[in-house]
């Protein structure tokens, strides 16, 4: 049983101003796995004051000093990767191989990327007699989700640190353990007092206090569209910068070529990874009408092959994060049935043999782009296959959405793949499985604004100053 009752403020583990606790539920067992404290606006005031005080000195540190600190964090992170994986497996139900693999690996990757970018990042640019300087924005409120705990946390913390900012982290209440361990890592690495602070609690309390605080200069939020809208409204009164990475309903276009079945199988299996709880998931699978039967067979076989079960075992897919999330997903599956979508795999209820835990069947529908299950983000292992007539039609369907976070194109003709990707109105597109830690990640339309990852992630935390007559 875990018990994390203190917050990390001004370099110390401290008690909340007003003690209040909440239980954390293991989604695989439905049993209580631990207890955390819930913070208040008073805790936020303390953390912001510490961050503001520390900013005056941390913002003036050299590139070498920041690189030294990131290197020390990297060493401490390496020591505790197993603990981080165990925590992720317990808090949000990721299977052991995924929790200890890609989940923890993403955090390590963002740390390494921050080090690589910082080594050569140009903070000053001379333009004739003018110097354009990029300076840290100040005190940052970082609000992160539960679905990829290390990825979403590390992609904010390390660029913010590298660019000379101070910060307050508000981790997800549903998945708080890995963030607590990360705070211990930063403390052990010697992060100066006040530079990094962490308060656990509910988004409606801590997130609102950060978003409205007059001494917070920026909010970086990853999560749902409705919460992102509210944060923008809350932050407007103090004109602070807001970076948002929100939802998605991303299209995966499979081109008409001999590799279609393999591409469909890979796309289906990929959709089920992390129990479908991925904002960039390719949840709309677009295939040629002329080869729909072949695509259905490949998708059904791939979905049926996904093993679901105890995260501590060898299952490929664990539970979804909570009872509430399970119920939302069940409602969407029922909507798909009610709308007349054709169910080819999965469906309502838990998989056979699982009577406890928030396990969902890997589910595949064949439907149309106007159905609710193709318009709204389900955030579960539910894939919708949609047929297209030709490439132009595929692009039209892909772009017919309120979102624009990610996209996927698979095909053997690389020129055609590139041409299709160019026409998709979305911020991050993987062609034939491409992946790059240095590629900017973020969305068009209702998927948010700003970019994370790589050097573009640095720009999120920088102000621009023009010094005229400098030379």
- Tell me which residues are annotated as active site: 245
Distances 258 to 119, 295, 409, 413 between C-alpha atoms, Å: 44, 12, 15, 11
Distance CA 1, CA 13 (A): 20
Residue 222's DSSP bridge partners are 245
E-strand stretches of 26-85: 32-37
Tokens of 261: 């079945």
Residue 404, C-beta contacts closer than 8 angstroms, at least 6 positions apart: 248, 425, 426, 427, 443, 444, 445, 446, 447
Residue 182 corresponds to which tokens in the numbers above? 């990360």
Residue 430 CA from chain centroid, whole number:
16
State the Cα–Cα distance between residues 362 and 275, nearest whole angstrom.
8
Question: Cβ atoms within 10 A of the Cβ of 305, count?
Answer: 14
Q: What DSSP state is assigned to residue 445?
A: E
Q: What is the three-class DSSP state of 125? A: strand
Kindly write down the DSSP assignment for every residue of 245-312, as one continuous string. Answer: E-----EEEEPSSTTHHHHHHHHHHHHHGGGG--TT---EEEEEGGGHHHHHHHHHHHHHT--B--TT
Query: Chain-centre distance of CA 274, in angstroms?
Result: 12
Q: How many residues does the chain have?
A: 471
Tokens of 6: 């203190």
- A 10 A CB-CB count for 137 gives 20
Contacts within 8 Å (CB) and 24+ apart, 257-263: 257/411, 257/412, 257/413, 258/412, 259/410, 259/411, 259/412, 260/287, 260/288, 260/291, 260/294, 260/295, 260/298, 261/294, 261/295, 261/297, 261/298, 262/298, 263/410, 263/411
Q: How many whole angstroms separate alpha carbon 141 and alpha carbon 461? A: 11
Question: Is 426 within 8 Å of 271 (Cβ atoms)?
Answer: no
- 265: β partners: none
């Amino acid at each position: 049983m875990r018990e994390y009752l203190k917050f990390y403020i001004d370099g110390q583990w401290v008690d909340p101003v007003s003690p209040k606790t909440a239980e954390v539920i293991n989604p695989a067992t439905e049993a209580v796995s631990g207890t955390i404290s819930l913070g208040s606006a008073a805790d936020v005031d303390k953390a912001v004051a510490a961050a503001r005080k520390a900013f005056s000195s941390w913002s003036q540190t050299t590139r070498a000093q920041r690189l030294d600190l990131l290197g020390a964090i990297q060493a401490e992170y390496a020591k505790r990767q197993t603990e981080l994986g165990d925590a992720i497996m317990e808090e949000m139900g990721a299977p052991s191989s995924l929790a200890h693999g890609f989940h923890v690996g993403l955090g390590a990757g963002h740390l390494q990327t921050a080090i690589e970018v910082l080594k050569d990042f140009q903070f000053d640019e001379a333009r004739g007699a003018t110097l354009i300087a990029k300076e840290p924005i100040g005190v940052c409120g970082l609000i992160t989700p539960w679905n990829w705990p290390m990825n979403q946390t590390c992609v904010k913390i390390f660029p913010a640190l590298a660019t000379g900012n101070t910060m307050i982290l508000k981790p997800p209440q549903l998945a708080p353990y890995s963030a607590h361990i990360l705070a211990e890592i930063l403390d052990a690495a010697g992060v100066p007092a006040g530079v990094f602070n962490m308060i656990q609690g509910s988004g409606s309390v801590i997130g609102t206090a950060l978003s409205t605080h007059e001494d917070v200069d920026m909010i970086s939020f990853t999560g749902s569209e409705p919460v992102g809208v509210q944060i923008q409204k809350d932050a407007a009164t103090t004109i602070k910068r807001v970076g948002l990475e929100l939802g998605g309903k991303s299209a995966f276009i499979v081109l008409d070529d001999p590799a279609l079945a393999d591409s469909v199988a890979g796309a289906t299996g990929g959709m089920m990874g992390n129990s479908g709880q991925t904002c960039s998931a390719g949840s709309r699978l677009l295939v040629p009408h002329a080869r729909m039967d072949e695509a259905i067979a490949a998708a059904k076989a791939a979905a049926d092959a996904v093993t679901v079960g105890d995260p501590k075992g060898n299952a490929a897919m664990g539970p979804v994060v909570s009872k509430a999330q399970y119920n939302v997903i069940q409602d969407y599956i029922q909507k798909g049935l009610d709308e007349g979508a054709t169910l080819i795999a999965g469906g309502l209820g838990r998989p056979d043999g699982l009577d406890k835990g928030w396990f969902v069947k890997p589910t595949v529908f064949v439907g149309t782009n106007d159905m609710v299950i193709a318009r709204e983000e389900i955030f579960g292992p539910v894939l919708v296959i949609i047929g297209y007539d030709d490439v132009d039609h595929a692009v039209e369907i892909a772009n017919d959405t309120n979102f624009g976070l990610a996209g996927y194109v698979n095909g053997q003709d690389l020129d055609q793949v590139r041409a299709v990707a160019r026409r998709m109105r979305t911020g991050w597109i993987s062609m034939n499985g491409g992946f790059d830690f240095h590629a900017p990640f973020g969305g068009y339309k209702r998927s948010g604004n700003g970019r994370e990852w790589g050097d573009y992630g640095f720009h999120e935390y920088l102000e621009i100053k023009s010094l005229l007559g400098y030379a």
